[in-house]
């Protein structure tokens, strides 16, 4: 009894068993079967990695699209600023010429 109690306290088994019970309870509501390895590592990696990579690619494409739109807006603002600078330079030249 002492040894069993010592193993339970050292390994923190009560907490582990409680978490295992919780996982079992949560799994009862699932309708689809749990994932099991097929025995072929390449297929297992592909089956779990490809959906993640596709999701990440979609996120990156969306992010790229947002940044391209932001860059278009900024480029428009830069062009408007350059036009304003050119107008001001022309106004300065005209006033300088009229002053001289």
> What is the domain partition of the chain in residue ranges?
1-30, 65-99
Average pLDDT over residues 59-72: 98
Range list of H helices, the chain = 2-10, 13-28, 41-99
Residue % of the chain over a pLDDT of 90? 51
Q: How confident is the model at residue 31 (pLDDT cuts 50, 70, 90)?
A: confident
Report the predicted TM-score, pTM, of the whole model to 2 decimal places: 0.51
Closest to 36 measured CA to CA, from 48, 54, 27, 20: 48
Q: Please answer whether residues 44 and 37 qualify as being in contact, where contact means their C-beta atoms are separated by less than 8 angstroms.
A: yes
């Amino acid at each position: 009894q002492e040894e069993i109690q010592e193993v339970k306290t050292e390994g923190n088994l009560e907490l582990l068993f409680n978490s295992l019970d919780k996982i079992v309870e949560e799994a009862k509501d699932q309708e689809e079967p749990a994932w099991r390895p097929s025995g072929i590592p390449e297929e297992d990696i592909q089956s779990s990695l490809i959906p993640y990579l596709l999701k990440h690619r979609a996120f990156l494409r969306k992010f790229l699209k947002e940044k391209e739109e932001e860059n278009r807006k900024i480029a428009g603002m830069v062009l408007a600023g350059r036009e304003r600078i050119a107008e001001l330079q022309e106004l300065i030249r005209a006033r300088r010429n009229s002053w001289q």
